[in-house]
Amino acid sequence: MAANPSRPITMLVCLAHPDDETFGMGGTLALYTRRGVKVHLVCGTRGEVGEMTPELMEGFNSIGERRESELRCAAGILGLAGVYFLGYRDSGMPGTPDNQHPNALATQPVDEVAEKVVHYIRWLRPQVMVTHDPIGGYKHPDHIAMHRVGLRAFELAGDPNYHSDLPPFQPNKLYYQTMPKTLLRWAVRLAPLLGMDPHRFGRNKDIDLVTLVAEGDFPTHAHINCRSVGEIRDEATACHTSQLGGAIGRKGPMAFLRRYFGMTETFMRAFPPPEKGLNEKDLFEGVEK
């Protein structure tokens, strides 16, 4: 990829928590940084509600501080050019007391949060922008909030009537990261054999894989083969020690599934509107370099 020196090839990723950049799309981010793309991450929260065992808190003053450290570890391995926090608090899963925190991301007005993201879009001038899908992958309120914020910021950034500290800029493309259906279906089948409940999956037992297979069937417009950077993604995954909970890592049945059925990461294209049957192999396809 040959870049115009005045506008380097750039991707902006807008996500909710530390670990979203690795567990969902770490292969894609590693692949593009190795190709010379400047990949920047805007993160809505520091994951303050993530569970944490006492030994993992040694040397840290808060869960958010620990998880930020894990994110910066992963970002270094993935090769990210920048990490920027919006300063909101993790909202927790639906129906939990954390939903009511006054700084919870999911409770903030979309336009107020989007204003902050517009700044990064206009400053970094990415050709490609990526965020969560409409149900946030597994219905986490913060993921859904960042999806809405990312979409709104994408719309506002190019609007000459929307005033901020920087001139208007419209990225060429917007994508939503989606969960590979093959991986999900295999996880549903194998979970009971491994003593796991596919309706109560994950470290906090708050992910219903069965429902996700049925409801999260978004169209896939881009398939990114990440096999060449699989080991890098695994190294970045290992940074998020507090969130692994034995479900993802270098070893075990779930790691096997991810390695052999999750090496292709999938995306839905939101803009420009995709034509029927679109199957891109590169998120920068059609972007003038």
Q: With bands split at pLDDT 50, 70 and 90, how would you rate the model's confidence at 5?
A: low
0.85 surpassed by pTM: yes
What's the mean pLDDT when you consider all of the chain? 87
Q: Nearest 5°: phi and psi at 42?
A: -105, 120
Q: What angle do CA 82, 177, 92 make, to 5 degrees?
A: 80
Give the domain CATH number at 61.
3.40.50.10320
Mean pLDDT for 179-208 is: 64
What is the per-residue pLDDT across 44-86, written as a single tens digit (0 to 9) for each? 999 999 778 899 999 999 999 999 999 999 999 999 999 999 9
Q: Which domain holds residue 225?
A: 10-271
Burial class (CB in 10 A: 0-12, 13-18, 19+), 97: exposed
Is 283 inside any structural domain?
no
Place of tokens 């994110």: 71
Is 5 inside any structural domain?
no
* Total number of domains in the chain: 1
Is 20 inside any structural domain?
yes
Is 133 inside any structural domain?
yes
d(CA 79, CA 232): 10
